[in-house]
Structure formats: structure tokens, C-alpha cells
């Protein structure tokens, strides 16, 4: 079984939390658990779980960073908002 999905989830957790000491431990049968490395040793954070459950657990561990919105995204959203209002206010039967 491929563990790329689980490892990717832990890498995203490291980025979100700013803690590079997280690691995924793979077990036989496709089970994973999360640990935090420290000078004292490994601190087990989760129990072994299947890959999909592990990824969901890791993704819920720390909140995702808010998405950056560029000035172009904001301008596009404003333009869409204005065009939506304009079509709602347009009078019916103005075909001449």
C-alpha cells in the first residue's frame, strides 16, 4: 500500500503548525500513527489507524491556514457581484 497520502498529510501538518518534529510511523497492514520527536524520545500522539482515518485525523489536528486572496481575486469577486446586481435590476422587456 502506498503511504504517500499519509506522509503528505504530515508534511502539511508540519507547515501549518510550524513544528517540524511530527512524523508518521507506518505499520504492517497499512496502519499509521502520528508521533512527535523530542530529545527525550518519540511521543505517540495517535493510535494506529487505517490510512484514510489517519489522514483525516492529521488534517483536523491544526486548523488550515487561511487562503491568501490576491487583489485580482478580490477584483473578480467584486465584478461578479456587480454584474449579478445589474442583471437583477435590469428592467424586463427592454429589447427595443
Judge whether residue 5 has pLDDT over 80: yes
Q: How does DSSP classify residue 46? A: S
**Position 91 confidence tier, pLDDT thresholds 50, 70, 90:** low
Mean pLDDT to the nearest integer, 50-73? 84
Tell whether 67 is covered by a domain.
Answer: no
The reply to whether 54 falls in a domain is yes
Say if 87 falls within a structural domain: no
Q: Per the structure, how many domains does the chain have?
A: 1
Domain membership flag for residue 26: yes
Number of neighbouring beta carbons within 10 Å of residue 54: 25
Listed in sequence order, the residues at least 6 apart from 6 whose beta carbon sits closer than 8 Å to its beta carbon are 24, 26, 32, 51, 54, 55, 58
Regarding predicted confidence, which is higher, 63 or 37?
Answer: 37
- Quote the CA–CA distance of 90 and 73 in Å, as a whole number: 26
Residue 85: pLDDT band with limits 50, 70, 90: low
Please check whether residue 15 lies inside any domain of the structure: yes
pLDDT of residue 87: 47
Q: Domain range holding 45?
A: 4-61
Q: With a cut of 80, say whether residue 92 has pLDDT above it.
A: no
Amino acid at each position: 500500500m502506498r503511504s504517500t497520502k499519509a506522509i503528505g498529510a504530515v508534511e502539511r501538518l508540519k507547515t501549518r503548525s510550524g513544528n517540524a518534529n511530527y512524523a508518521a510511523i507506518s505499520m504492517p497492514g497499512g496502519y499509521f500513527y502520528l508521533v512527535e520527536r523530542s530529545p527525550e524520545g518519540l511521543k505517540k500522539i495517535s493510535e494506529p489507524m487505517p490510512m484514510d482515518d489517519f489522514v483525516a485525523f492529521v488534517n483536523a489536528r491544526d486548523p488550515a491556514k487561511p487562503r491568501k486572496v490576491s487583489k485580482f481575486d478580490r477584483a473578480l469577486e467584486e465584478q461578479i457581484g456587480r454584474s449579478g446586481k445589474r442583471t437583477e435590476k435590469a428592467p424586463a422587456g427592454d429589447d427595443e
